[in-house]
Amino acid sequence: MVTTAAGQRVSYVDHGGDGPVVVLLHSFLMDAAMWAPQVEAFGDRYRLVAIDERGHGDTPADAPFDHWDVARDALAVLDALGISRAAVAGTSQGGFVALRMALLAPERVTALALLGTSGEPEDEQISAAYQQLAEVWIAQGPETVIEAVAKICLGEYDPSDWTPKWSEVWPDRLRLIMNALVGREGVLDRLASVGVPALVLHGTADLAYPVAKAEALVAALPGAAPLVLVEGGAHFLSLTHAADVNPHLERFFDAVL
């Protein structure tokens, strides 16, 4: 656990190793354990640092925040570990944070791997629907909406390892993390300044973001490789389709780190 200069506590798992550092940033409602398939696949060749983003896992959220704040939290973890530069991988919400890390501290981010994510603000209608879903969750209990949430996030993947954690999210925390998610501004018009190598992967069965969001990211990032489409990949594809994703991540990191 790290405490930032602003007093925010941030939980993380440093998986160790002597290889290049890769920061791992999870999706909405998830935590650092989401990256278990990647730790198993190539944790022996890279120093993987998986962070619980604000309001998730063991990292608290006691007041309103945005993804810029979470990016600063992640940079503070690197400071505490004495790490000057690192690659960053993020799925969905983790990608929002990864992009903001690169914008805040371009000299510290060596490469970006972005999965199932977007550089755009949330669509207003979708934002309203997600906020309504959160209020139903709070008023009627998580069991009323968890099946729908799991379908959007995980597709056909078995959600049973995660739904118990979701059921334990307190109402105040749910509102805070949801407001951060749907209230984010777009950054596409700022990404021309992010010149590091970037890999964008997107599932063809992503129920949250169409492939066009990934295409826009590739177009906006000067150092982006061609878009990688994962056939049948769900929104949280680094978890749900790890066997398809991991070879691309390994080849990318081997080439740029």
Domain boundaries, the chain: 2-121+185-256
Q: What is the pLDDT of residue 18?
A: 83
Q: What is the pLDDT of residue 17?
A: 81
- Nearest CA to 116 out of 22, 251, 256, 241 is that of 241
Looking at residue 188, its amino acid is L
Q: What is the pLDDT of residue 218?
A: 98
C-alpha 148/C-alpha 155 separation (Å) is 10
C-alpha 130/C-alpha 86 separation (Å) is 33
Number of H helices, E strands in the chain: 10, 9
Domain covering 2-121+185-256, topology: Rossmann fold (3.40.50)
Q: Which residues pair with 10 in a beta bridge?
A: 2
- Stretches where the chain sits below pLDDT 70 are none
Cα torsion 247, 252, 253, 257 to 10°: value is: 160
C-alpha 15/C-alpha 110 separation (Å) is 19
